[in-house]
Chain A
Amino acid sequence: MSLDTIRQREQTTGWLLVMPALLILALVFIYPIGRAFWLSLGRQNLGTQLQPVFAGLANYTRMVGDGRFWQTITNTTIFTIASVSLELVLGMTIALVLNQSFPGRGMVRTIAIIPWALPTAVMGLAWTWIFNDQYGVLNDILLRLGLIEQGISWLGEPTLAMVALIIADVWKTTPFMSIILLAGLQSIPPELYEAHTIDGAKPWQSFTQITLPLIMPQILIALLFRFAQAFGMFDLVQVMTGGGPAGATETVSIYIYSTVMRYLDFGYGSALVVVTFLLLITAVAITAFFLKQAQKQL
């Protein structure tokens, strides 16, 4: 057998081994997105008796004038930016603490992963109970401390409901952020700090001049993942507020879901999927660009 045929056989086997995985990925990820592009060009709802009728860009022109859509985009953006930036600050603080040596560190590191591993929908229920207006423990603590005079209806007020969602999300996903950042911190050689301190640098200066630049790739990767996840957040909102009160916490995902499952409007639902997809891809491309830049600087 010549070397070429061996190589060729290897390649054939290679494709055989990769194909099943690629096919199932295409079926579950690529097909639905492609299908949404196609369906978004038609009307398919109760009005058309769920039969597809070609409508060109009608769904997209409808979206431009759809106040509820713009409201959900605003809500999603607020939720995403607020949670992800809080998670970054908190995740970084926790990573710095967990990078110190202290007795029981292993146990604390373990505890600091637990929220990440738990089902979002289920822990959403736990937070709903904490924020409960009548029996909730949060109100109880605030009352005991004398900070409020009567129980707050956390999930019943538009702004507070958003705050509650953000708190629950920060609790759930800060561990992911701190795991990734901690891995970054551990890869920095301690000698760098020693040399810097001998040169007379203050801790804060070491942080901004050594730590931050060196773990920038980890920061951006964690941000990328978290940004995409927060932008598509469904479980937590569905369980905690259902998008209420009065649509104040309705995210794009919730809107897509009810357009399809409640109003059975597949055409418009697909158009919403397409626009959300394109927004996300754009944002991801921008972040990936910065990631490349940061990696180049290293």
Chain B
Amino acid sequence: MTITAERETKALKINLGLIILGVSVFLIIIFFLAPIIWQVLTSIKVNEDITAVPNVYIPSKITWEHYIELFQRKPFANYILNSALVSIISTLLCLGLGAPAAYVLARLKLPFEKIILVAILIITLFPYVLLFLGLLEIIKAIGLGNNYFALIIPYTAMNLPLTILVMRSFFQQLPKDLEDAAKVDGYETIPMLLKIVLPMTVPALVTTGILTFIFAWNEYIFALTFITEETMKTIPVATAQLGGATVFEIPYGAIAAATILATFPLVLLVLLFQRRIVQGLTAGAVKG
């Protein structure tokens, strides 16, 4: 083969590679976004468009009636507030309990440390369906049914393993000098944690908090089982239970609108904090 011919095949190869790359990127975008886009379109279509056969892709008329219907027929503002409340409080609790625990597991040599860490790792793999029966008993026994704490406590617990693992790997990377200096200055452990370590920890806490918020917002089986009072339901449960005025009527438009409301805050979080989410997830899964 002459040199020019070789160059040409090489150029051809590179071009082909670029085309394959372009097509795959395009397919990835379509695959991940199409179901969401379809819900957005359904949520702003009028009912005639929604049930048109063959399907109408671009709405002939844009309407907000499905969104308005949600707030008029159901306490949808409540659902959103419930989800926000339960997710935020459990996230704060989780960080408050998990971060100090993670610090201790990273820095101090406690006996049984290994066993504790392995137990925490195994726990992350338990499906919640194995837990709801035992928790339901406790909740009934202490009269916690239809109380936000019936969700806040399990959500705090289910996010603790991730929080401990992510924060522990953060503390392990933190240089120890400042803490040693503080000890020489006579700081006790807890004041030192609050005054010196905490300010450096804020970014890691934010990263972890975003993940725990997402998990709490998305939880389904506990929310379905422990809360039966209509006005106290969280948004995933309320959305899944949306029915029509009659058994035969399925409100496709309203369901689509509800899925958009339930997913919007999370899409926003991903758009704003993509890097942190990836960091947190990989730190939790891989380094743990």
A95 → B minimal CB distance (Å) = 11
* A218 partner residues in chain B, CB cutoff 8 A: 286
Residue B81 interfacial (CB < 8 Å): no
How far is A129 from B50 in the complex, measured between Cα atoms in Å?
11
Which secondary structure characterizes the binding site on chain B? Answer: helix
Residue in A32, A132, A135 whose beta carbon sits within 8 Å of that of B130 in the complex: A32
Residue A229 interfacial (CB < 8 Å): yes
Which of the 9-residue segments A53-61, A104-112, A158-166 touches chain B? A104-112
A115/B217 in contact, CB under 8 A? no
B281/A180 in contact, CB under 8 A? yes
Residue B256 interfacial (CB < 8 Å): yes
B interface residues, how many (CB within 8 angstroms): 89
Residue B103 interfacial (CB < 8 Å): yes
Binary interface profile of B, 30-64, with partner A (CB < 8 Å = 1, else 0)? Answer: 01110110110010000000111111000000000
Residue in A29, A137, A183 whose beta carbon sits within 8 Å of that of B282 in the complex: A183
A6 → B minimal CB distance (Å) = 9
- Measured CB to CB, the nearest residue on chain A to B156 is A24
- Measured CB to CB, the nearest residue on chain A to B288 is A221
A202 → B minimal CB distance (Å) = 12
Binary interface profile of B, 99-125, with partner A (CB < 8 Å = 1, else 0)? Answer: 011011100101000001000101111
B25/A102 in contact, CB under 8 A? yes
Residue A208 interfacial (CB < 8 Å): no
- With most chain A CB atoms within 10 A of its CB, the pick from B110, B124, B133, B236 is B133
A14-B104, A121-B220, A143-B54 are contacts. A269–B133 as well, Cβ < 8 Å?
yes
A11-B110, A21-B164 are contacts. A231–B127 as well, Cβ < 8 Å?
yes
B33/A114 in contact, CB under 8 A? yes
* A256 partner residues in chain B, CB cutoff 8 A: 129-130, 133
A130/B38 in contact, CB under 8 A? yes
Residue in A27, A171, A252, A257 whose beta carbon sits within 8 Å of that of B221 in the complex: A257
A234/B135 in contact, CB under 8 A? no
A117-B277, A123-B263 are contacts. A21–B160 as well, Cβ < 8 Å?
yes
How far is A149 from B134 in the complex, measured between Cα atoms in Å?
50
How far is A31 from B251 in the complex, measured between Cα atoms in Å?
41
Residue B269 interfacial (CB < 8 Å): yes
A112/B267 in contact, CB under 8 A? no
How far is A115 from B25 in the complex, measured between Cα atoms in Å?
16
Residue B84 interfacial (CB < 8 Å): no
Residue B196 interfacial (CB < 8 Å): no
How far is A221 from B36 in the complex, measured between Cα atoms in Å?
29
Binary interface profile of B, 2-22, with partner A (CB < 8 Å = 1, else 0)? Answer: 000000000000000000011
Which of the 9-residue segments A81-89, A192-200, A273-281 touches chain B? A273-281
Q: Which of B's residues lie within 8 Å of A, judged by CB? A: 21-22, 24-25, 28-29, 31-33, 35-36, 38-39, 42, 50-55, 97-98, 100-101, 103-105, 108, 110, 116, 120, 122-138, 153-154, 156-158, 160-161, 164, 188-190, 214, 217-218, 220-221, 225, 235-237, 239-240, 252, 255-256, 258-259, 262-263, 266-267, 269-271, 274, 277-278, 281-282, 285-286
Contacts A/B (CB < 8 Å), 8 sampled: A18-B105, A24-B97, A32-B134, A135-B55, A179-B282, A222-B285, A232-B126, A277-B126
Would you list the 7 A-B pairs with minimal beta carbon distance, nearest first?
A232-B127, A32-B134, A28-B157, A228-B125, A253-B129, A21-B101, A119-B218
